[in-house]
Chains A and B, each alone.
Chain A
Amino acid sequence: MVAEFLTIAEAARLIEKKELSPVELVESRLDRIGKYNDRLHAFIRLTADEARAAAKAAETEIAAGKYRGPLHGIPIGLKDIYETVGVPTTGHSKVMQDHVPKADGFAVARLKAAGAISLGKLATHEFAFGGPSFDLPWPPARNPWDTSRFTGGSSSGTGASVAAGLVLGGTGSDTGGSIRGPAAYCGLAGIKPTYGLISRAGILPLAFSLDHAGPMAWTAEDCAIMLQAMAGHDPADPASANRAIPDYRAALNGDVKGLRIGLIRHFYTTDNEASAATRDAIDAAAKTYQGLGCSVREITVSPLAEWAACGVTMMLSEAYAIHQENLRKRFTDYGEIFRDRMALAGLIGAGDYIQAVRRRRELVDELDRAMADLDLVMTAAAPSEAPKIDEVGKFATMERPSLTIAFNVTGSPAMSVCCGHTGDDLPLSFQIVGKRFHDATVLRAAHAYEQATPYRGKRPTL
């Protein structure tokens, strides 16, 4: 009998020792999906037959001594903007509901080469932006901690499926917070890596200069395992970094003593006031880091609204350009949330877009200067626990300044880490951010925190 919940690392140990077969593991997840997906709507398309075949092939390979590594035989889910050969990749939209890619995107190909087994395509906000929407071909995903609540988005299905143990890890994308938001609301670990670390090729774009691909899983260690497979140079992505990829998993166990953390408290106390529970949980997390031997001092940067204005103006403008033709030709084939956000986006003038990109250079320099004598910064990932799904406004991305888009603006690695639960058992989180290409330091800090606290032991009751 396979455990209800397993991390990638736990399953990998069992698989490598041949104490667990990928066939058993995949079947156990398909059973869970059969039991819970009707309530959670995490998957919009299952590829069960292909998964079973891949599991059998993995079992045979492993029995023959050809173990590929910690993702071999591990069931994952793919956000339905990740192009997957032969499988409709729809962006959760009527506009692309018949789009069947002829090839896997880079990150998908890398995960498959590492032996990961996709169970299917996961719900997303429409084109990674318009949600939670109830007028799309598939319903929005629901939060396993309380199905009346929002998963966060746009990697909504990934958040739900990992939290509920339907998969052991999943792919997300993050243009303004779409990995970190659902990771926060669903109590996961989710990292938006450094811009360019994971190829964007074969992932439906939202905003070229802000899109980041990344893993979502239960722990920082699992994120490190997935990132190891996904990262790497891809000439097909003009922004793809061409540098050596460190061993992220090996780096987890380095000492965090002496790490210098800057706490951007004003982001979540005055600029976008977080709930008392969130503020208290982050304060406690900062003390945990001090207890681990890190130094934590408060720092001040430009107000959150400035970062949000920069990031959101660019995001809207770039997304509008991508969808411009289809918006003209088939406006009402898009869901109402996406299309109305795009209508607003069309009001942004070219001059203001360029001002945003000029501001971007200023803000990148500002954060680099602020971090000159720091290793990490820390702030909130979300202003509260998950709200009710029907209380998320159409223009929610603009109603309050985003806590996450600042680090898309700067291309910095940024991770959401669960730091407790409310009295209603809803996850709380903080965000840890590193210097560009210091993703290993971010993961190490998150891992150390997880090891020092009990929160990875609490799962939703379904």
Chain B
Amino acid sequence: MTRAELDAAMVRLGLQVPPAEREEIWAAAHYIDNMAALLRKPRPVGAEPLHTPAFPEE
């Protein structure tokens, strides 16, 4: 993520992040990317998430 992309993301999120903190957040953004990379495994199309809802039965 470039710094410009981070700044754009903060605007889109509506967060008034002070400049000094933006540097730190940008430096830490790779943690999010790293976790996403571990999660994006090939899965069957029908692989269900854990909280598929079970509605109360009558």
Q: Which residues of A are in contact with B by a Cβ distance under 8 Å?
A: 209, 305-306, 308-310, 312-313, 316, 327-328, 331-332, 336, 339-340, 342-344, 346-349, 352, 354-362, 364, 394-395, 398-399
Count contacts between A and B, CB distance < 8 Å. Answer: 95
CB pair A346 B36 closer than 8 Å: no
Q: Is the CB of A347 within 8 A of B9?
A: yes
Nearest CB of A to B16, in Å: 5
When C-beta atoms are compared, the residue in chain A nearest to B35 turns out to be A309
Complex CA–CA separation, A394 to B18 (angstroms): 15
Instruction: Decide: B24 and A394 in contact? CB cutoff 8 A.
Output: yes
In the docked arrangement, what's the CA distance between A340 and B29, Å? 11
* CA A356 to CA B49, docked complex, whole Å: 8
**Are A331 and B17 interface neighbours, CB within 8 A?**
yes
Q: A340-B25, A344-B32 are in contact. List 17 more A-B contacts (CB 8 A).
A: A305-B38, A309-B36, A309-B38, A313-B35, A340-B17, A343-B10, A343-B17, A344-B28, A346-B9, A346-B10, A349-B36, A352-B39, A355-B39, A359-B39, A359-B41, A395-B28, A398-B35
Contact B16 A332 (CB under 8 A): yes
The 5 closest A-B pairs by CB, nearest first: A357-B49, A309-B35, A398-B31, A309-B38, A328-B14
User: Are B35 and A364 within 8 A (Cβ)?
Assistant: no
Q: Which residues of A contact B1 (CB under 8 A)?
A: 347
Q: What does the 1/0 interface line of B7-43 toward A look like (CB < 8 Å)?
A: 0011001111110010011001101101110111101
Within the complex, the shortest CB–CB distance from A37 to chain B, in Å, comes to: 31
Chain B residues proximal to chain A, CB less than 8 Å: 1, 6, 9-10, 13-18, 21, 24-25, 28-29, 31-32, 34-36, 38-41, 43, 47-51
A157 to B35, CA, bound (A): 30
In the assembled complex, the CB of B38 is this many whole angstroms from the nearest CB of chain A, namely 4
Q: Are A328 and B39 in contact (CB under 8 A)?
A: no
CB of B53 to closest CB in A, whole Å: 10
Once the chains bind, are B15 and A331 in contact (CB under 8 Å)? Answer: yes
Closest to B21 in A: A340
User: Contact: A358 with B32, CB < 8 Å?
Assistant: no
A327 to B25, CA, bound (A): 15
CA–CA, A361 and B41, complex, Å? 13
Q: Are A346 and B49 also in contact (CB < 8 A) when A309-B38, A355-B39, A395-B31 are? A: no
| Contact residues in B for A209 (Cβ distance below 8 Å) | 50-51
Whether the Cβ atoms of B50 and A364 lie closer than 8 Å is yes
Query: What is the CB-to-nearest-CB distance from A322 to chain B, in angstroms, rounded to a whole number?
Result: 15
Name the distance in Å between A205's Cβ and chain B's nearest Cβ.
15
Chain B residues in 8 Å Cβ range of A331: 15-17
